[in-house]
Amino acid sequence: MSVFGSGSAEFPREPWFRRHPTAVLAVAAVLFGSVWLLRLLDGDATDASTLLFTLPVALVAVAFGLRAGLAAGAVAVLMVVVWAVVTDADLSPVGWISRCLPHLLLGGLLGDASERLRNADEERRRLESGALLYREAIEINDSLVQGMAAARWAMEAGRTEDGLKILEETIGQAQDLVSDLIRQAGMGSSIRTE
């Protein structure tokens, strides 16, 4: 089982924050609002409550990737600026940097990492699917070649009826194998077998 939740053995379910983007935005909005309200109510400029903006920034970055992470970091910076203007906070350059830069960095770095993980997972799934198709192609090839070889040997030995019977069985096997592949690909209703 994956850390992302329960799902099939081949492809685990996505985590909640990828399956429910609207919920992510709602949770992030509540977190942004709560931290900003906390920051407004607590006028002490030395208080580190602006660090709590990292929670919604991280959530958005992990759920939506690099651009969204940077945008969430920018929202956090904007909220810090509005807080400073509303409360007339006097911050040094280091105070501004320490309250703004971490949010942008977190959003960018975590968003980039999230996109890379998502791309790696998609590539893994693509490779697993390709490997499965390769194994199935080998199985089909082996079944068909063996059946046709047996039919040929029977016909060369003068057992024409046996050879034709083996050939018919091989054709039936081929149709069954191809039909199974079509069903697995989800295209069973659009392709008819004769």
Give every residue of the chain whose pLDDT is below 70, as ranges.
1-12, 43-46, 186-194
Q: Which runs of E-coded beta strand occur in the chain? A: none
**pLDDT tens-digit series, residues 159-173:** 989 889 988 988 888
Could you tell me which of 45, 49, 48 has the C-alpha nearest to residue 86? Answer: 45
CB 57 within 8 A of CB 10: no
Q: Quick count: other Cβ atoms within 10 Å of Cβ 117? A: 11
**pLDDT score recorded for residue 181:** 76
Residue at token pair 């971490």: 102
pTM strictly above 0.75 = no
Q: What count of other Cβ atoms lies within 10 Å of the Cβ of residue 146? A: 13
pLDDT of res. 142 = 82
CA gap 70, 73 in Å, rounded = 5
- pLDDT value at residue 120: 93
Which residue type is seen at 39? R
Q: Where are the beta strands (DSSP E) in 22-74?
A: none
- Domain range list for the chain: 16-125, 133-184
pLDDT tens for residues 79-95?
Answer: 989 888 888 888 889 98
The pLDDT value recorded for residue 63 is: 94
| Amino acid at site 52 | L
